[in-house]
Structure 1
Amino acid sequence: MSEQYAYVPHRLLRKRVRDVASGLEGELMAVVNENVSASVLREHWVELAYIRGPSGREISTAVDNIEAV
């Protein structure tokens, strides 16, 4: 199995964004291409956006779910 994740550049990094799935607004802290597979035989990679909300807690969501505020 290769690395579990890799950072991905994104035009909205460190900008205010909204997660359309949850409605949470916050700062986009990172975009990561992450291996979420449960098996070493078949890798499954997804791009996740990490958003820090007003409470300071971060959530992850699909990159396609974020929009600029």
Structure 2
Amino acid sequence: MSVLEDRYIGDGVYASVEGNYIVLELRGQDNFTRIALEPEVFDALIQYRNDILTKIASLQKVEKEDAPETL
């Protein structure tokens, strides 16, 4: 039983909570895929997201520093 109602989070993906698991469901026209993430795996996914955002911010900073000055 889910603690919260399913929530559509985009790209055909729905999220819910079941016990200690974050459940992601991909609901396509012809198929249905379900992934139950343990808390440690969910934490790793969040850390991966944070790493990506840090890398993007770093690249944007370098681009600004390398950009020619405008008059």
TM-score, normalised by the number of residues in structure 1: 0.38
Higher helix share: 2
Bigger Rg over Cα = 2
Higher RCO, 1 vs 2 (CA within 8 Å, ≥6 residues apart) = 1
TM-score, normalised by the number of residues in structure 2: 0.37
